[in-house]
Structures are given as structure tokens and as C-alpha cells.
Amino acid sequence: MGRTALKIGADTFQCFVRNPRGARAKAADPADLEGLRRLLAENAFGPIVAHAPYIMNPCSKDQGIRELAERMMGEDLALLEHLPGNYYNFHPGSHVGQGLEEGCRLIAGMLNRVLRPEQQTIVLLETMAGKGSEIGGRFEELRMILDQVERPEKVGVCMDTCHMSDGGYDVVGDWDGVLTEFDKAVGLSRLYAVHINDSMNPPGSRKDRHARIGEGTLGTEAIVRVITHPALRGLPFLLETPTDDAGHGEEIALLRSLAARRQG
């Protein structure tokens, strides 16, 4: 993973620490992680992001699914202690008819049982498109979770440009305004990472289908405004666009050159 990132000109990346669509974790090999830790340090990588499996739903109606979510997150965070100083991002979940408040209470409850004071990883709530009963489509929903978290210093937010646009935020027309709203509801100091994706669907569609940079409804210019905004300086920007390593390499090169030109 680290070598591929190096090869395509990245200085951060996102990865899964287990099968993204299943519960099974591949046994952690501390030697592998130690090697990765060295490679990241030697090549001046920024923090990297581990993404929780998509099946994780800490606010499910089903107690078994909630317990599985808690177990997976606990195991993943234990594993990440071999790579201290990085981030673990998860989708807050879908409340499936239980209501927003109950959903947020369940999510915060899991975090309060799983987070450890000595833990070196910051756990990130991802901004979502708000499809179905998905929590996190509005910044205020993330605030509702954060307000109930007992270790706020261990929890932050990861933005996703496709999700925010699909969720109805004007990423293309008023990025400043979106950041102002985020700052009011959540606080920019709680923002640790940004997924930069174009979107296959129009703003407000609540769909969540990522497009390659420049091939969707956001467009390359809007993405460049996102990554060059002074309030976001130094954050890791992660591509989750539907392409392969070579395609991601091209997107990185394009965005780096446009960002450099814009910042003059």
C-alpha cells in the first residue's frame, strides 16, 4: 500500500484494515506494520486514513449488528496502535427508522465504550450523502454525536465532497459558505481529512455515486478550490474515485499542478 502510494506520487493514502464488505480481519502482522511505519516516516507522509468496513452499522436496530460494529472497531483500533498518529474513518450508520436522536445516541454509546484514553488514533465520522436513514448528511447530525462523546479529543470529522454535494451542500458554487456552515455546526478544528471525489449525480440527489475528477457534477475547478482553501491547509486529501492506481496517479499529478498554479 505504501509503495503503491509512493509510486503514484501520493504522500498519504486510505486503506482498509479488513475486508471492506465483510467482518473478517486478516491477522495483523506487526512486522508488516512496522515496515509501513518506517516507509511513511522516511518519505514524509502525512497521516494516513484507515476506513472501517462498509457493513459497520453502530446504530442498527439489530443488537447483533451493533455488537459486531463495536467488535470490529475495537479490533481495528487495537491493530492501528502499531501505526500511531493516524486516522480511522467510519460511516456513522443508518438508524433504520429508530430516529435521528436514537441513532446518534447509539453511535456515541459505541464510541464511549471503544475509545481508550491512551489510544494514538483519531476516529473520524464521515460526512454522508444522507440516503435512506443514513446519519451524517447534515453537519448538525455529526454535532449531535460529538456532543455525547466522552473523549472528544479522540474524535473528529472527515469530509467527502461527493457526499456533501449529494447531500445538498453547495460545494461548487459556495465552498466558503459550506466551510462557514461546517465551522458553526462542528468546528473546523474537528476536521482531520477530506475525501475528494467528483459526483455522478446533481447536488441534493442524496445518491452517493463517486465520479473521477472532472467527470462529474462538481468539476475539476471546484475540487481545486477545495484542496487549495487556506482553512484546509495541511490536511490529507484522499481520492476515492472509480479508477485504478495509474488513474489515481494521473489525478494526483493534475490536481498538484492546478493547485500549484492557483497558489502561485
Q: Which amino acid is at 103?
A: G
Q: How far apart are the first and last CA of the chain?
A: 32
Q: Does 134 sit near Zn ion (CB under 5 A)?
A: no
Candidate residues 60, 208, 239, 249; the one interacting with Zn ion per rule CB under 5 A = 208
Q: Does 160 sit near Fe ion (CB under 5 A)?
A: yes
Q: Which amino acid is at 258?
A: L
**Three-state DSSP class for 211?**
strand
> Would you call 38 exposed, middle or buried from its count of C-beta atoms within 10 A (0-12, 13-18, 19+)?
exposed
Q: Given the rule CB under 5 A, which of 7-15, 77-85, 126-134, 140-148 is the region that contacts Fe ion?
A: 126-134
Query: Could you give the CA distance from residue 4 to residue 246 in angstroms, rounded to a whole number?
Result: 10
166 binds, among Fe ion, Zn ion, none (CB under 5 to 8 A by kind): none
Residue closer to Zn ion by CB (options 51, 66) is 51
Candidate residues 195, 201, 222, 226; the one interacting with Fe ion per rule CB under 5 A = 195
What is the separation of C-alpha 52 from the centre of its chain, rounded to a whole number of angstroms? 9
Strand-pair category, 49-51 with 14-16: parallel
CB of 226 to Fe ion, least distance (A): 13
Residue closer to Fe ion by CB (options 37, 141) is 141
195 binds, among Fe ion, Zn ion, none (CB under 5 to 8 A by kind): Fe ion
Q: Which residues bind Zn ion (CB under 5 A)?
A: 208
